[in-house]
Amino acid sequence: MSRQPRVKSLVAKRTVIVGTHKTSVSMKLEFWNALKEIATQEGVSLAALVTRIDTDRHHANLSSTIRLYVLDHYRRLADETAPSGSKGKRS
């Protein structure tokens, strides 16, 4: 049995402006890319989107809150595009 080489997912630390202050957030690149995509789709800057996420957060950790926001965003999109009989169903 041959082993597949592990592919590393890179964690990137970025400085973002949240409201009036700077903070550092560490997330995997896939989440940063998804967050930028969402900001572009919504026609807002990355800083504006992160500020909105920060304002609405219920968790202490901003990076966790951002990841949950991204997950929720794509779940909503999946629900919107799913056939009407399967909307809202999750395994």
| pLDDT computed for residue 74 by the predictor | 95
Distance CA 3, CA 12 (A): 27
- State yes or no: pLDDT of 7 exceeds 90: no
Distance CA 50, CA 25 (A): 10
25 pLDDT band, cuts 50/70/90, is very high
- State yes or no: pLDDT of 1 exceeds 70: no
19 pLDDT band, cuts 50/70/90, is confident
- Token pair of 27 as six digits: 């997330």
Distance CA 56, CA 87 (A): 26
Fold of 11-82: Ribbon-helix-helix fold (1.10.3990)
Distance CA 1, CA 24 (A): 43
pTM of the predicted model, to two decimals? 0.78
